[in-house]
Structures are given as C-alpha cells and as structure tokens.
Amino acid sequence: MFAAETGAWCTGREARPSDRRKWVKVFEACDEDKKGYLSREDFKVAVVMLFGYKPTKIEADSVMASINSNASGICLEEFIKLMEKKKAAQLYQNEIRQIFTAFDRQYRGFLTLEDFKKAFKQVAPKLSERIVLEAFREVDQDSDGHVSFKDFEYAMNYGKKEA
C-alpha cells in the first residue's frame, strides 16, 4: 500500500545505500525510453520488480495524484522517496507481525485474554489486571473473545498520522 491508503507509513529511517542503488537500477530499467520519469505503467512494473505484487488501480492512482501535477510522471527523486516510505511501512508491518507472533505463544492465529495477561505481565508488570482487561476488550473489536491479527494491527496503527 502507498501513503494515501495507510497510516502505516514510517519516517525517520534512512534507506541503506544498497536499497537506493537497487531503486535507481529498477527506475532506469523501467524508464526504457530514458525520458527521466516513470509513467503510471512504468511505475506499476517497478513495484512488481521490487515488491513482487502489481499495485491496484487505486494504489497507482493515489501515487500518481500525489506527485507534482505539472510533471509527466514520477522522477527519480520522487520514486526514491516513495520507495523509502514503502520500505519503512513494510518494516513496520513486519514488526507488528513479530510482536503478535511473540504474544501468540500457541500459534493459534489469535490472542486470548490469557495471552494478553501474560504479555502485559512481561512488558508492563505493574499494570493492573483491570487495565489489561479493558485493553483486551478495546482491541477485540468484534467481542468474540479473540484478538485476531487484524484486530491487533488496527490497535497498533490506531492514531498514527499519515506521512
């Protein structure tokens, strides 16, 4: 997903030089006519090359709408900024998945109140059981007694501002 569609964009993480070199190579490969920018279709091919999936029409439209309206496409500098944000968002999503997996000790794909209690006992041992119960109820959006990854992810992203 790209910036206009998710609050999971992280900033402040510098891209590694190896990432930047890869992005430049992909940009140059997708800019076959050497026009200095990527068209909408070129951009979609670049995303497939870098992330292994074809962006949806909504994603592509969102990105194209976010660039300089006077431009014919996405220049290298804009492309690198987009890829930095995408990479940071991916890292953040991976961190959320790792935290969820650490809490889901029985690998069921959901968290119970007991899982929540054990996790909070480790990370915030002085927190009262009442607060943990309230937190669990807040995160368990459909009140089924289980916190799915989707519930957990929503809670972790709650209040994040878009970049």
CA dihedral sign, ordered 18, 19, 22, 27: negative
Together in a domain, 73 and 123? no
Taking only the tens place, the pLDDT of each residue in 6-56 is 333 344 456 788 999 999 999 999 998 999 999 999 999 999 999 999 999
Does residue 95 fall inside a structural domain? no
Higher pLDDT residue, 31 or 161?
31
Contacts of 67 (CB under 8 A, 6+ apart): 73, 74, 78
Structure tokens at 131: 């607060």
The closest of 36, 70, 74 to 55, measured between CA atoms, is: 74
74 and 118 belong to one structural domain: no
Give me the number of domains the chain comprises.
2
Task: Say if residues 30 and 49 touch (Cβ distance below 8 Å).
Answer: yes
HSE of 126, CA atoms in CB hemisphere, 13 A:
0
pLDDT in tens, 78-91: 999 999 999 998 89
Kindly state the tokens that stand for 52.
Answer: 């292994």
Name the pTM for this structure. Answer: 0.68
| Whether the predicted pLDDT of 163 surpasses 50 | no
Q: Which domain holds residue 30?
A: 3-86
Same domain, 119 and 76: no
Evaluate whether residue 127 is within a structural domain: yes
- Structure confidence at residue 2 (pLDDT): 52
Statement to judge: residues 19 and 80 lie in one domain:
yes
Q: Which two tokens stand for residue 92?
A: 């953040």
Same domain flag for 128 and 75 = no
- Coil, strand or helix at 80: helix
Q: Do 12 and 73 belong to one domain?
A: yes
On whether residue 143 sits in a domain, the answer given is: yes
Q: What one-character DSSP code corresponds to residue 2?
A: -
Q: CA-to-CA distance for 23 and 78, rounded, in angstroms?
A: 11
Pick the closest to residue 153 from 114, 109, 118, 122 (CA basis): 109
CATH of residue 145's domain is 1.10.238.10
Whole-angstrom CA distances from 9 to 71, 75, 103, 163 are 24, 21, 24, 6
The b-or-e profile of 108-120 (16+ CB within 10 A means b, else e) is eebbbbebbeebb
Does the pLDDT at position 141 exceed 60? yes
Domain's final residue, options 41, 60, 86: 86
Residues 17 and 72 in one domain: yes
pLDDT of residue 13: 58
